Structure 1
Amino acid sequence: MNRTLVVVSAGLRLPSSTRMLADRLADAARHELEQLGAQIDVSIVEVRDHAHELVNHLLAGYPSPELGQVLDTVARADGLIAVTPTFTASYNGLFKMFFDSLDDAALVDKPVLIAATGGTGRHSLILEHALRPMFTYLHAVVAPTAVFAAPEDWGGGDAAQGSLVSRIQRAARELTLEVDRRDMPTVKDPYDNPMPFDRMLLGE
């Protein structure tokens, strides 16, 4: 079966530790799904590339064709990996704008793996007090294991890097098991069954 994963990375710079963590999670999830016999298509969304489009969308009320295609890709994905840097003890503004721009039903029952990066491990609670509540509100199915990576996880020696690898593998396994047991998502086209104009004039 063909499966699609979308990885949303909200880092502000390239290269960034946020994108590095996103890539590690995507590789682990791809491996786990291939072990289950699925063929995987992974799409990476760098939110910074759509910053101006996101602002225009929130001001005007409709997305550009390019942004609309990205949002539709997320809605149609079998699973989502969402990674943000820590800003003022929470997700950054671009990350929030991106998910504010999705249709209200886009993430309903969709498996989501949440992850974050930060300058110190003390910021790891962002996962539980900011990200998990937001995705729960959006009715996503959030993987039990969330992944936080601080600088010491990348350069703290074999033990620290081994701990990060272990968390990545566990979170990826949880995500892929949720993806594997679900049917492919269907997205309702709002223009599929439009109300006739004469009925609209009657206020129906």
Structure 2
Amino acid sequence: MFATAPLKIVAVSAGLSSPSSTRLLADRVAGAARERLEADQDRRVDVRIIELRDLAVDIANNLVTGFPPRALRDAMEAVTEADGLIAVTPVFTASYSGLFKSFFDLIDHTALTGKPVVIAATGGTARHSLVLEHALRPLFAYLRAVTLPTSVYAASEDWGSSGDEYTEGLPARIRRAGGELASAVLGRTVSGATRALGLADGEDAVVPFEQQLADLRLD
């Protein structure tokens, strides 16, 4: 029986095309988080995907006037009220896109304090994967969010030749990131000791924080 108040997972996608690999990555990370949350507890999980391409004009108007139109205000409130956030951008000129940055420029710099965030990006080549570390992590550190350890970068070759199927490495990163977000939303700590706990490869163990402290004391 689901509780009345659902957990809220919000994914922000800054993809410009339709269909978009950026949106696809947002969907899959959000799906992995929802799957883990629904397996671990009995509360309903609501997932919302915010497409910034649909809000581009509103974002530009807000930057000029200081007043967000209703649709943009609703999106900003969804982000600030989420239990867990997923932020996905395409790589433009070796960094996040201008649309992505402009949206988060509108978020109050204290509104994401303590909120768990998975950062992710898409690009044409794996050479741009460090954008997650040199651009996105500092941005969300400034916004005082809790950026989770596993970030997800998807280059063109990661999606497979058809564009629908993913290759072996990407699904594991998506599952790991989704599991970390679920654990953070539930206030638990993720451990990589999967074999010791009998979990399959690619799955993450959820270990209570007090147990991890006890293990540190034993060392």
TM-score by length of 2: 0.79
Partner of 1:111: 116
Partner of 1:70: 75
| 1:156, distance to aligned residue in structure 2 (A) | 6.2
Q: Which has the higher strand share?
A: 2
d(CA) in 2 for partners of 1:176, 1:35: 10
Partner of 1:167: 173
| 1:104, distance to aligned residue in structure 2 (A) | 2.1
Counting aligned pairs with the same residue, the percent is: 57
| 1:39, distance to aligned residue in structure 2 (A) | 1.3
Of structures 1 and 2, the one scoring higher in RCO (CA 8 A, sep 6+) is 1
Q: Which has the higher helix share?
A: 1
Cα-Cα RMSD: 1.4
Partner of 1:197: none
In structure 1, stretches of 5+ residues that fail to align are: 183-204
d(CA) in 1 for partners of 2:158, 2:82: 29
Partner of 1:8: 12
Partner of 2:61: 56
Among 19, 29, 32, the alignment partner of 1:28 is 32
Listed as ranges, the matches of 1:106-145 within 5 Å are 106-145=111-150
Contact 2:109–2:144 under 8 Å retained in 1? no
In structure 2, stretches of 5+ residues that fail to align are: 189-219
Q: Which runs of 4+ in 1 moved over 6 A?
A: none
Partner of 1:189: none
d(CA) in 2 for partners of 1:55, 1:21: 25
| 1:12, distance to aligned residue in structure 2 (A) | 0.4
Partner of 1:200: none
TM-score by length of 1: 0.85
